[in-house]
Amino acid sequence: MKILIIGGSGGIGQALIKEALQRFEGANIYATYHKNKPQWNLPCLTWLPLDATNENQIFKLSQKITDLDLLINSIGFLHSPSQLPEKSVQQFDVDFFQQNLSLNTLPTLLLAKHFQSAFKNAGNQSRFAVFSARIGSISDNRLGGWVSYRSSKAALNMAIKTISIEWQRTVKNVCLFAFHPGTTDTELSKPFQHNLKPQQLQTAKHTAEAFFDVCGQLTSADSGCFVDYQGNSITW
Ligand SMILES: NC(=O)c1ccc[n+]([C@@H]2O[C@H](COP(=O)([O-])OP(=O)(O)OC[C@H]3O[C@@H](n4cnc5c(N)ncnc54)[C@H](OP(=O)(O)O)[C@@H]3O)[C@@H](O)[C@H]2O)c1
């Protein structure tokens, strides 16, 4: 089994690697980092540097890994050291918006473009899981706010739905889906955790376990779905 985890250095990404190591004995796991290379190594784990906004780097990675059973994109962006998500459109900032798009939307499109043939080569059932967020659902939006993050995840969801329809004709062995992990204790959620009740915040380990439970239930017939950590469908 071959697994590639994009954003393996993230809070959820590292937990996904640990969970995959336990569940899939003998699997080859490739994991990418961008700025922070984790300091743990194992014979079946290969760390690879990647800027997932750079098409040439994704292309080169796809030349290195030519067949895949599971591709997970767990990178994402919500805030920077100087900027939190917008409470009002009056705080909208072009650079911040473009950063959201380039980290939350663009990488999945580039990965789909360049890893399509890796799924074809895998033969059996393959999965391409993308970490989205419930907040990217248009029909579920009751609070407003966070306009750049919401818009970039909504665009990501549209990309997933669109590509899944195309692949149902051309790469029939793949299940491409959007996954909502639930609020998880990582750097991404840190600035917003103070308002939460303890039961509203999951550990990354719990999220990774839930992810693999849900992922294991899905087949290519489910391609194009948007599901949460309990396996429940989320409306677009
Ligand atoms: N945590 C939550 O509560 C929550 C809730 C809903 C949805 N999500 C979604 O779940 C996913 C994972 O979130 P997380 O909490 O694990 O975030 P995180 O801990 O902040 O991790 C972010 C990851 O993105 C990588 N990254 C950033 N810029 C990159 C680039 N240019 N190229 C390649 N990789 C890059 C980081 O790599 P380096 O550290 O190596 O730079 C890191 O691995 C995201 O899509 C997020 O939107 C999270």
Question: 160-179, pLDDT tens digit by residue?
Answer: 999 999 999 999 999 999 99
Q: pLDDT category, 195, cuts 50, 70, 90?
A: confident
Of 112, 131, 130, 122, the closest CA to residue 28 belongs to 122
Give me the pLDDT at residue 124, please: 79
CA 127 to centroid of chain Cα atoms: 12
Question: 37-79, pLDDT tens digit by residue?
Answer: 999 999 999 999 999 999 999 999 999 999 999 999 999 999 9
Question: 112-127, pLDDT tens digit by residue?
Answer: 999 999 998 777 789 9
| Residue 195 per-residue DSSP state | G
Q: Provide the mean pLDDT of the chain.
A: 96
Nearest C-alpha to atom 45 of ligand 1 is from which residue?
76
- Domain map of the chain by residue range? 2-228
Give me the pLDDT at residue 122, please: 75
CA 11 to centroid of chain Cα atoms: 12
Looking at the structure, give the CATH architecture of the domain made up of residues 2-228: 3-Layer(aba) Sandwich (3.40)
Give me the pLDDT at residue 36, please: 97
Nearest C-alpha to atom 8 of ligand 1 is from which residue?
133
Contact residues for 206 (Cβ-Cβ < 8 A; gap 6+)? 184
Mutation choice for ligand 1 from 34, 35, 71, 75, CB with most ligand atoms inside 8 A: 75
| Residue 188 per-residue DSSP state | T
Burial 92-124 (b: 16+ CB within 10 A, else e): eeeebbebbbebbbbbbbbbbebbbebbbebee
Measured from the Cβ of residue 77, the count of other Cβ atoms closer than 10 Å reads 17
Q: pLDDT category, 198, cuts 50, 70, 90?
A: confident
| Residue 199 per-residue DSSP state | G
Give me the pLDDT at residue 175, please: 97
Distance CA 182, CA 168 (A): 28
How do strand 2-6 and strand 70-73 relate by DSSP bridges? parallel
- Is the CB–ligand 1 distance for residue 135 below 6 Å? no
- Is the CB–ligand 1 distance for residue 136 below 6 Å? no
